Structure 1
Amino acid sequence: MTPLRQQMTDQMTLRGYSSATQKAYLYQITELARYYHRSPHDLTIAELQQYLLYLIRERHWSCSSCRQAIHAIHFLYVQVLHRPIGPLELPHPKKAQKIPDLLYPDEVRAIIQHCNHGKQKAAVILAYATGMRIGEISQLRIHDLDGQHNRIKVRQGKGQKDRFVLFSEGLKENLRIYWRQYHPDDVVIYGQYKDRPLDKKYLRLEVKEAAQRAGITKEIRFHSLRHAFATHQLMAGMPLPRLQLLLGHKQISTTLRYLQWIAMMDSARCLNEDLVRDLWVTP
């Protein structure tokens, strides 16, 4: 590890950045150094400007990826090198406002029924029943499940914050089936070893392949299950502030987007008395 990389890692650790953020920032700075074949310490503001234009024009990076590169560069120069960027404004491409392909309850059920692996299937059910992110499900431990009080504790979710999510009777029934098959000891959705989470890439892959097997042509990601949870709960009458807490949104404006999205959906197909009961049952 180079001294500059170590300094950046140390500063991110001191500021409480998550391991995922640290990995992403280090990747961005590595790409910057690889582009110029020089240490970022020696680059000028004009060269930083040119690199960002290269990402936009030639590599066709998405808006979010470009913003991440900008944040990483700012962190390196301001927090590590103590060199302000100066009056030059780096380009901040606007994020395209797109509505993702939203799933109806029957489509979620079809995806679950077409899951071929029990561990991934349990993770999919957890995502839809609670709205948890993939990383939060991956880190879920048995002692986080509070059946007595009908809640699950999400430890150090996005933004390094704890919160509680729903633990419905339907979800409990499905997890009991999972327990009888896999007998987890610590990590709920474990991989090869019971003390280590199942790699998230297998969760993402299973959702995509299950959607294909179910004949769903929409663009589906694992995060689509979180969107489905939010839109279906709103359609079922959940108050917006309550949903904000369950999703762990810092700003309610982030939660408000779901109100815009559900206007695109057929309410008759979204209202379910029990959104997660009997989801384990195969066709």
Structure 2
Amino acid sequence: MYWLDQLHQVLVVGNYGRGTIKSYMAEMRLLFHYHHELNVEQITQQHIMDYMLFIKTVHQVGRDKCRAVAQSCSFFFRHVIKKEFIVPSKIYPRKEFRLPNVMTQDEVKQLFERCSDVRGLAVISLLYGCGLRCGEVQQLKLSDIERKNNRILIRQGKGNKDRYAQLPYHVLKHLEDYYRAYRPNLFLFESKQLLGKPLHQRSIQTIVNTTMTNAGFVSGKFTAHTLRHSYATHLLDLGCDIHSIKTLLGHSKIETTMIYLHLQQSKRDVTSFIFNRRAE
């Protein structure tokens, strides 16, 4: 379709990240398909509202999905079709405050102790030991592992930004065990079906889910992103400052990182101690 091609060109020329391009293209494709009887130029605010009502009521999607639709539409009408039309703020769903799910340090210990698969250990080590996103693990190349400097280069992470992540010794050890067993050539986790391509992100998630289940956790309770949340929260518990954690996680705004302050165990312990002292 012409307008999807135009959208793709604008995103690529604008040097937007892989995730943004994939998301905007998918959301606009679905919107156009839903209003297939209309030319793209005929789509109005009301048509967008009708589509969002449909996906919320029929498919029971959450706030993140609705916001992705709103952002995609806003970008498309502002930068691609350049129509005298701005997606109004009321289309954006109200922000929900939800604390991320995290594992306790004992649960993390149980996860590692019960995992005997070298690939599974390598994946969960990168997610928890380095705080990487699932997509960042998927895109890692062997050349990104800097053993001498004890760090990993994260290329074009979220927001299309490069950064370095720390490489603790125990993570390096699991990566070395994995390398000896699998001998990857280019990407750290390579697809068997598509030579020279990384393992699909869903396959990475499946490895994590299988590892969690084998460790005795209820299916679906903890995910790949839970390990990243746990990494940040446990760093706070150990006394790491919030600005250093922001840098390690690759957050662009400190407000994003500060949500982990609500999960900090030491703060909860102090609060409980003060309350118990007063109750005595």
* TM-score, normalised via structure 2 length: 0.86
Tell me the SS of whatever aligns to 1:23.
helix
What is residue 135 of structure 1 aligned with on the other side? 135
Tell whether 2:23 aligns with 1:21: no
Report deviation, 1:244.
0.9
Tell whether 2:7 aligns with 1:5: no
Tell me the SS of whatever aligns to 1:157.
coil
Equivalents in 1 of 2:110, 2:39: separation in Å?
Answer: 51
Amino acid at match of 1:214: A
What is residue 254 of structure 1 aligned with on the other side? 256
User: Gaps (5+ residues) in structure 2?
Assistant: 270-280
Please tell me whether the aligned partners of residues 121 and 174 of structure 2 are also in contact (alpha carbons under 8 angstroms).
no
Please tell me whether the aligned partners of residues 120 and 202 of structure 1 are also in contact (alpha carbons under 8 angstroms).
no
Equivalents in 2 of 1:140, 1:88: separation in Å?
Answer: 39
What is residue 274 of structure 1 aligned with on the other side? none
Amino acid at match of 1:235: D
Report deviation, 1:107.
1.7
1:225-244 counterparts in 2 under 5 A? 225-244=227-246
Amino acid at match of 1:233: L
Please tell me whether the aligned partners of residues 115 and 206 of structure 1 are also in contact (alpha carbons under 8 angstroms).
no
Q: Which moved more, 1:107-116 or 1:97-106?
A: 107-116
Tell me the SS of whatever aligns to 2:135.
helix
Q: Residues 88 and 107 from structure 1, CA distance in 2 versus in 1: closer, same or farther, beyond 3 angstroms? A: closer
Equivalents in 1 of 2:105, 2:182: separation in Å?
Answer: 27
Task: List per-residue Cα deviations over 1:227-273 (Å, max 9, x = no partner).
Answer: 11111111111121111111011111111111111249987xxxxxx
Amino acid at match of 2:241: P
> Whose helix fraction is larger, Structure 1's or Structure 2's?
2
1:97-136 counterparts in 2 under 5 A? 97-115=97-115, 117-136=117-136
Amino acid at match of 2:214: R
Tell me the SS of whatever aligns to 2:155.
strand
Report deviation, 1:126.
1.2
**Aligned pair count?**
266
Q: Residues 15 and 113 from structure 1, CA distance in 2 versus in 1: closer, same or farther, beyond 3 angstroms? A: same
Q: Which moved more, 1:56-65 or 1:134-143?
A: 56-65
1:1-283 counterparts in 2 under 5 A? 2-37=1-36, 38-86=38-86, 88-115=88-115, 117-192=117-192, 195-217=196-218, 219-263=221-265
Equivalents in 1 of 2:253, 2:62: separation in Å?
Answer: 24
Amino acid at match of 2:60: H
Calculate the aligned-residue CA RMSD, in Å.
2.3
Amino acid at match of 1:3: Y
Please tell me whether the aligned partners of residues 132 and 226 of structure 1 are also in contact (alpha carbons under 8 angstroms).
yes
Report deviation, 1:211.
1.9
Equivalents in 2 of 1:264, 1:197: separation in Å?
Answer: 39
Report deviation, 1:113.
4.3
Identity of aligned residues (%): 27
Report deviation, 1:161.
0.8
Please tell me whether the aligned partners of residues 190 and 196 of structure 2 are also in contact (alpha carbons under 8 angstroms).
yes
Q: Residues 161 and 52 from structure 1, CA distance in 2 versus in 1: closer, same or farther, beyond 3 angstroms? A: same
Equivalents in 2 of 1:84, 1:90: separation in Å?
Answer: 18
Amino acid at match of 2:10: Q
Equivalents in 2 of 1:33, 1:106: separation in Å?
Answer: 48
Structure of greater relative contact order (alpha carbons < 8 Å, 6+ residues apart): 1
Amino acid at match of 2:161: K
Amino acid at match of 1:262: Q
Q: Residues 240 and 40 from structure 1, CA distance in 2 versus in 1: closer, same or farther, beyond 3 angstroms? A: same
Report deviation, 1:128.
0.9
Task: List per-residue Cα deviations over 1:100-138 (Å, max 9, x = no partner).
Answer: 321123322333444464323311111111001111111
Q: Residues 39 and 120 from structure 1, CA distance in 2 versus in 1: closer, same or farther, beyond 3 angstroms? A: farther
Q: Which moved more, 1:172-181 or 1:222-231?
A: 172-181
Q: Residues 179 and 63 from structure 1, CA distance in 2 versus in 1: closer, same or farther, beyond 3 angstroms? A: same
What is residue 279 of structure 1 aligned with on the other side? none
Equivalents in 2 of 1:157, 1:88: separation in Å?
Answer: 29
Task: List per-residue Cα deviations over 1:43-95 (Å, max 9, x = no partner).
Answer: 23322232223333343221111011011111221111111325854422123
